[in-house]
Amino acid sequence: MNFDKIRQANAAYTAENSFQNSEEFVDIRKFFAIQQLYNSAMKEIKTKLEILDEEFQVKFDHNPIHHMEYRLKSPKSIVEKLEKKNCEISTASIKQNLTDVAGVRVICNYIDDINRIADLLTQQDDITLIRRSDYIARPKANGYRSLHLVVTVPVFLAETTEKVPVEIQIRTIAMDFWASLEHELKYKAEDKISEELRRRLKESAESIARIDAEMQSIYKEINPDRK
pLDDT in tens, 164-173: 999 999 999 9
* Residue among 80, 121, 120 nearest 100 (CA): 80
Q: Among 41-45, 87-91, 104-108, 201-205, which is the least confidently predicted range?
A: 87-91
- 3-state SS class at 207: helix
Q: What is the mean pLDDT of residues 80-85?
A: 92
Please give the DSSP secondary-structure letter assigned to residue 69.
Answer: E
pLDDT: which is higher, 219 or 197:
219
**Phi, psi values for residue 211, rounded to 5°:** -65, -45
pLDDT-derived band at 18, boundaries 50, 70, 90: very low
What pLDDT is attached to residue 225?
A: 78
Q: So what's the pLDDT on residue 15?
A: 39
pLDDT digits 0-9 by tens, 19-37:
344 454 446 778 888 999 9
**C-alpha atoms less than 13 angstroms from C-alpha of 84 in its C-beta half-sphere:** 8
Of the pLDDT bands very low, low, confident and very high (cuts 50, 70, 90), residue 74 is: confident
What is the set of domains in the chain, with CATH numbers?
35-222 (3.30.460.10)
Calculate the average pLDDT of the chain. Answer: 87
Phi, psi of 167 (to 5 degrees): -90, 130
Give residue 170's pLDDT. Answer: 98
Question: Per-residue pLDDT for 3 more than 80?
Answer: no
pLDDT per residue over 53-68, tens digit each?
A: 999 999 999 999 999 9
pLDDT at 144 over 80: yes
Q: What is the pTM for the complete model shown?
A: 0.85
Task: Report the helix count and the strand count for the chain, using DSSP H and E.
Answer: 6, 5
Q: Which residues are catalytic?
A: 167
Q: Tell me what pLDDT residue 79 has.
A: 86
User: Mean of the pLDDT values across residues 41-61?
Assistant: 96
| CA-atom Rg of the chain in angstroms | 21
- pLDDT at residue 75 is higher than 60: yes
Residue 91 has a pLDDT of: 87
